[in-house]
Chain A
Amino acid sequence: MSNTNTFFKTSLQMRMSFIFLLLLTIIVLVTLYFVQRATYQHSSIQLFSHMQTSVSVVRDNIEGRASALDNGMTTLAKDFSIKQLIATANDDRQSLKSAMFNYQNRLGADIFWVLADDFSPLVSTSDPLERSNEIVPSFTTPELHWFSFNHRYYLLRATPVRFVENSTQVNAWVVMGIDVEKLFTQNLVELTNMQMTLLSLKSNTLLGATPDTPFVNSLVLPDIEVSSGLHRISLSSTNTIYTTVEFGVWEHSPVYIVASTGEDDAYLSSESLIGQLFIILLSAATLGLLGATLLSREITKPLHQLIKAAHRMRAGEFVETFPSANTLEVESLSSAFDEMQQGIRDREEQIHHLAYYDELTNIPNRIQFSNHIRDILKQQPECQLTVLMLDVDRFKDINDTLGHDLGDELLIAIARRLSSYATESSFCARLGGDEYAVVSHQGAHDSPEEAAEQLIKLFEQPFKIENVVLDVDCSVGIALYPQHAQSLQGLMQCADIAMYSCKDQHNAFAVYTDALNKHSVVRLSLMSELKGALAEGQLELHYQPKLTIHSHKVETLECLIRWFHPEHGFVPPDDFIPLAEQTGSIRHVTQWALRTACQQVKKWQEQDMHFTVAVNISAIDLVDLSLPDSIASLLMEFDLLPSALTMEVTESAVMSDPQNALRALNLLRNMGITLSIDDFGTGYSSMAQLKKMPVDELKIDKAFVLDLATNQDDRVMVKTLVSLAQNLGLTTVAEGVEDLATLEFLTEIGCTKAQGYYMTKALRSDELVTWYQNFTRNGLTS
């Protein structure tokens, strides 16, 4: 989780409040919408119903007027005196007219006509009717008839007059009308709370209307919808809601009554309802928000406590109590935290054990041992410590012969004994493999030697493992703090060096000395420097002549490698050659030696000195089958005959892998290179092998030669070896010839060549030339 992300993250409390608010807003809006819609629909329905009722009331009212007029006219038509007046109208119109005026007043009518049976006018209030024969009978039907006359509109009724009531014959017609203005009065508005407008949509004519009707402007009339239901129309900046109902006929087309009301009046109540609802919901939202805040606080409080606890856990503290809350989730989260802490603790212990204890023996391992010493050094720098490093001798052999399982059992048994040995003042550990270490405060034992002896004593009793009784020896190296080293690393190194030194010396224990250290340090560092040393020319070849005894000539030389280290000075070959063999870098050394030797031989040849140079080949070189090829290419490069080179191979090198060694030797031999067995007599050469080997020369080890002048046994040995070689057809070289007596003895027994300080030590090439020139001139007398 990066900081930029957390920057945009809000707290749970805020988020919950936000979600609550959002939900409430949605609820409020949805509720508002539905309530608004429902109330609108409801009030629309109510309004519509009200309008229909109003129209019905108006219809009732007007039809009542029409019906009253009808009734009056029927009475009129049956009035005998009116009948008489009509029958005699042709003679006396004025009487009829006056009687009719009387009736008009009685019936509340505004206009009348009396027509004869042929619709010819008899008397009327004003002008006669046109097309009276067509229109008058229709005015008798029950529906409402509207009529325009002299630019005014009337509700008309007609009734036939029969002189004899039951006659089939109509004798006259009476038509009466009520002015529309008298019908559509303020009274209707008060009755219905609606504006009523009567209009004909066919000719867009306003027939009549209650006062203040919004439809006075006849321009809007075409926009009026006649379909059932509520309609809205915008009239002079206010919205008018209206409904239209068919309301009688005028000139054969339907007339409509429009019941209307202002939209504000119609919906005022619903709007105020919405306003109240809005206030209610707003306060509900406020309460909800408050609730969300409280609720989220309830949740976040233990969360914050848990966060704090987690931080403490991260810092490595053990948190005793976790926040408890009345919510199950927080409760279980708390217990999960607790379990997690316990789990982490358990695993830590497990890891700690894995990290600091040896898996096999269950005693502390190297890391804990180091930590232990480091802690002591830190806490008590003034103390004195004895570090004993222990290594089981020939453990590899035990492992190889008895198997790893038994080997492991042995290691466990050793660990057990060491543990029993280790007291409060000492601490034991297995460092790895068959290495153990014990550290104890000095003074716990009288001396480090005594401590070592006590340790070795642990191994006196043989180990009995799975019915096998094992006599185990060990090597103990001892290092002391602060005498030998001041650091842990130094102590361990010192102990290690001491331990290895006692292995070399076949002692049971060794106490560290600086001499051991130097040696080993050089040894360790040399290997890393060897390759660089080759390139930098720190190594040189020195040549030691081999004197051919019977001819008293020097024809062959052995080249010996010399390393002049810029820091350590001369490094003896015994110090670095075995190491080079172990690390495999001997190949580079051999290659370098071969090349340098060839170069030198060539140089001498050019100076008219013809030597055969012997180069030592290691066991690794021997089994490396590329050696013959590289030698061949070197010979080619320097234009040398194979006889210019002799390869000296130690007996043990051949014996380590006889098959491959023989193959390589045969290849070299076939090339014409002389082969020599070095250090003959020290190894375990089998005569059968020797017989098979394609060698030309045996070099008798200097161990037999050095004391040859005095030691009778050596004389016998050397003599036997020489005669053996002679019998096998091999030449012999004796190394380590240091005096004339030895040389004489060798001459006596027929040894082929002699090499040693008596002639000269190994010399640099230029020194050798000087020596050789002196030798050819003066012989060995110098």
Chain B
Amino acid sequence: MIRFTLSLLLVMVSTVSHSSDIDIVVTDNQNTPLSNVVVFLLPKNAPVETTNGMAIMDQVNTQFYPHILAVQRNTQVSFPNSDSIQHHVYSFSAAKVFELELYKGLRANPLLFDKLGVVEMGCNVHDWMLGYIYVVDTPYFTKTDQSGLASLQVPNGEYILRVWHPRISDAPESFQLPVSVDEVMQVTMKVPSDLLPDVNAYENSGDEFGEYE
């Protein structure tokens, strides 16, 4: 968490002049706020600063931790194993095909995520393990909290607001919102389609995410 915040701060510091806070609330089509949704703003005109940052996808109690990890393109993600048992993490997603064969601890080298999109990860040893790394092409991204609220400080300008979550069946492009940021503002984004079923209740348990309501 500390590392995650640090990396955010780095991004924010680098684009310091004339920035505003923007609060984004994501709801389903029943107006229920959704938590743990990846929210990101794509600048329309300004070029995007590249990054060589680091991110961590840990495995704790035979679960990916966090369940959803949003990263900017070209971020190095390391897969430490906090469990005392071996995992075999893999992905066949187009954004990043990889396989970390049976390992323990920090033996694994970080992997570079240089393609945009969803990387769905599993463990060949533990079928129930499911984790997502969502690679975005912007430094302005975050996840909604338990109340469905995401706050970002971004330089004033024109953006395209997109959201992503494994339960949202709509493609992020299909319901993106153009946002013009010049002062503190609040945007509500409603998912058009019904959510996919919450099969595994990854987000209903665990300390970090808690309850939606």
Binding site for B on A (CB under 8 A): 78, 80, 83-84, 87, 163-169, 171
A-facing mask of B188-209, CB < 8 A → 1, else 0?
A: 0000000011011000000000
Indicate if B58 sits at the interface (CB-CB under 8 A). Answer: no
Q: Which residue of B lies closest to A168 (CB)?
A: B196
B92→A163 contact, CB < 8 A = yes
- Residues of the A chain whose Cβ atoms lie less than 8 Å from the Cβ of B129: 166
State which of B124, B166, B167 has its C-beta within 8 Å of the C-beta of A80: B124
B196→A165 contact, CB < 8 A = no
State which of A80, A163, A165, A168 has its C-beta within 8 Å of the C-beta of B128: A165
State which of A78, A80, A84, A163 has its C-beta within 8 Å of the C-beta of B120: A163
The count of A-to-B residue pairs whose CB atoms sit within 8 angstroms is 41
A87→B92 contact, CB < 8 A = yes
State which of A164, A166, A168, A169 has its C-beta within 8 Å of the C-beta of B197: A168
Which 7 A-B pairs give the minimum distances between C-beta atoms? A164-B122, A87-B92, A165-B127, A166-B130, A163-B92, A80-B124, A166-B200
Indicate if B185 sits at the interface (CB-CB under 8 A). Answer: no
A166→B196 contact, CB < 8 A = no
State which of B90, B97, B130 has its C-beta within 8 Å of the C-beta of A167: B130
Indicate if B41 sits at the interface (CB-CB under 8 A). Answer: no
Least CB distance, A78 to chain B, in whole angstroms: 7
- Residues of the A chain whose Cβ atoms lie less than 8 Å from the Cβ of B120: 163-164, 167, 169
B197→A80 contact, CB < 8 A = no
A-facing mask of B120-147, CB < 8 A → 1, else 0?
A: 1110100111100000000000000000
Least CB distance, A264 to chain B, in whole angstroms: 57
Complex Cα spacing A659 to B88, Å: 174
* Chain B positions 71-130 with a Cβ under 8 Å from a chain A Cβ: 88, 90-93, 97, 120-122, 124, 127-130
Complex Cα spacing A164 to B88, Å: 12
Complex Cα spacing A169 to B169, Å: 10
A165→B199 contact, CB < 8 A = no
A166→B128 contact, CB < 8 A = yes
Least CB distance, A161 to chain B, in whole angstroms: 10
Complex Cα spacing A84 to B124, Å: 11
- Residues of the A chain whose Cβ atoms lie less than 8 Å from the Cβ of B127: 78, 165-166
B130→A164 contact, CB < 8 A = yes
Query: What are 5 residue pairs bridging A and B, where the CB atoms are less than 8 Å apart in the complex?
Result: A83-B92, A165-B130, A167-B122, A167-B130, A167-B166
Complex Cα spacing A78 to B123, Å: 11
Complex Cα spacing A84 to B101, Å: 13
Given contacts A165-B130, A166-B129, A167-B166, 14 further A-B contacts (CB under 8 A): A80-B124, A84-B92, A87-B92, A87-B97, A163-B92, A163-B120, A163-B122, A164-B121, A165-B127, A166-B127, A166-B130, A168-B167, A168-B197, A171-B92
A-facing mask of B161-203, CB < 8 A → 1, else 0?
A: 0000011000000000000000000000000000011011000
Most buried by B among A84, A167, A169: A167
Least CB distance, A225 to chain B, in whole angstroms: 43
Most buried by A among B92, B121, B128: B92
B92→A168 contact, CB < 8 A = no
State which of B97, B121, B199 has its C-beta within 8 Å of the C-beta of A168: B199
Most buried by B among A78, A87, A165, A171: A165
Total number of B residues with any Cβ neighbor in A under 8 Å: 20
- Residues of the B chain whose Cβ atoms lie less than 8 Å from the Cβ of A84: 92
Most buried by A among B124, B166, B167, B196: B124
Least CB distance, B166 to chain A, in whole angstroms: 6
- Residues of the A chain whose Cβ atoms lie less than 8 Å from the Cβ of B167: 168
- Residues of the B chain whose Cβ atoms lie less than 8 Å from the Cβ of A164: 91, 120-122, 130
Q: Which residue of B lies closest to A80 (CB)?
A: B124
Q: Which residue of B lies closest to A171 (CB)?
A: B92
Complex Cα spacing A167 to B129, Å: 9
Q: Which residue of B lies closest to A81 (CB)?
A: B124
Q: Which residue of B lies closest to A87 (CB)?
A: B92
Most buried by B among A84, A163, A166: A166
- Residues of the B chain whose Cβ atoms lie less than 8 Å from the Cβ of A169: 120, 166
B90→A166 contact, CB < 8 A = no
- Residues of the A chain whose Cβ atoms lie less than 8 Å from the Cβ of B121: 164
Complex Cα spacing A593 to B93, Å: 175
- Residues of the B chain whose Cβ atoms lie less than 8 Å from the Cβ of A168: 166-167, 196-197, 199
Complex Cα spacing A166 to B92, Å: 14
Complex Cα spacing A87 to B93, Å: 8
B92→A165 contact, CB < 8 A = no
Complex Cα spacing A87 to B120, Å: 13
Least CB distance, A99 to chain B, in whole angstroms: 15
Most buried by B among A78, A164, A166, A169: A164
Least CB distance, A86 to chain B, in whole angstroms: 8
Complex Cα spacing A687 to B208, Å: 183
Q: Which residue of B lies closest to A84 (CB)?
A: B92
Q: Which residue of A lies closest to B167 (CB)?
A: A168
Least CB distance, B127 to chain A, in whole angstroms: 4
A165→B197 contact, CB < 8 A = no
State which of A83, A163, A166 has its C-beta within 8 Å of the C-beta of B199: A166
Complex Cα spacing A234 to B92, Å: 61
Q: Which residue of B lies closest to A165 (CB)?
A: B127
State which of A78, A80, A171 has its C-beta within 8 Å of the C-beta of B90: A80
Q: Which residue of A lies closest to B99 (CB)?
A: A84
Q: Which residue of A lies closest to B166 (CB)?
A: A168
Complex Cα spacing A170 to B147, Å: 30
Complex Cα spacing A84 to B88, Å: 14
Complex Cα spacing A168 to B197, Å: 8
- Residues of the B chain whose Cβ atoms lie less than 8 Å from the Cβ of A87: 92, 97
Q: Which residue of A lies closest to B121 (CB)?
A: A164
- Residues of the A chain whose Cβ atoms lie less than 8 Å from the Cβ of B93: 163
Q: Which residue of B lies closest to A169 (CB)?
A: B120
- Residues of the B chain whose Cβ atoms lie less than 8 Å from the Cβ of A80: 88, 90, 124
B166→A165 contact, CB < 8 A = no
- Residues of the A chain whose Cβ atoms lie less than 8 Å from the Cβ of B91: 163-164
Complex Cα spacing A240 to B121, Å: 60
- Residues of the B chain whose Cβ atoms lie less than 8 Å from the Cβ of A166: 122, 127-130, 199-200
State which of B88, B97, B122 has its C-beta within 8 Å of the C-beta of A165: B122
Complex Cα spacing A168 to B132, Å: 12
- Residues of the A chain whose Cβ atoms lie less than 8 Å from the Cβ of B196: 168
Least CB distance, B202 to chain A, in whole angstroms: 8
Complex Cα spacing A83 to B129, Å: 16
Complex Cα spacing A165 to B92, Å: 12
- Residues of the B chain whose Cβ atoms lie less than 8 Å from the Cβ of A78: 127
- Residues of the A chain whose Cβ atoms lie less than 8 Å from the Cβ of B199: 166, 168
Least CB distance, B195 to chain A, in whole angstroms: 10
Least CB distance, B36 to chain A, in whole angstroms: 15
- Residues of the A chain whose Cβ atoms lie less than 8 Å from the Cβ of B90: 80
Least CB distance, B79 to chain A, in whole angstroms: 15
Least CB distance, B150 to chain A, in whole angstroms: 22
Q: Which residue of B lies closest to A78 (CB)?
A: B127
Q: Which residue of B lies closest to A166 (CB)?
A: B130
Least CB distance, A114 to chain B, in whole angstroms: 14
Complex Cα spacing A168 to B121, Å: 12
Complex Cα spacing A78 to B126, Å: 11
Complex Cα spacing A163 to B90, Å: 9
Q: Which residue of A lies closest to B200 (CB)?
A: A166
Complex Cα spacing A455 to B91, Å: 170
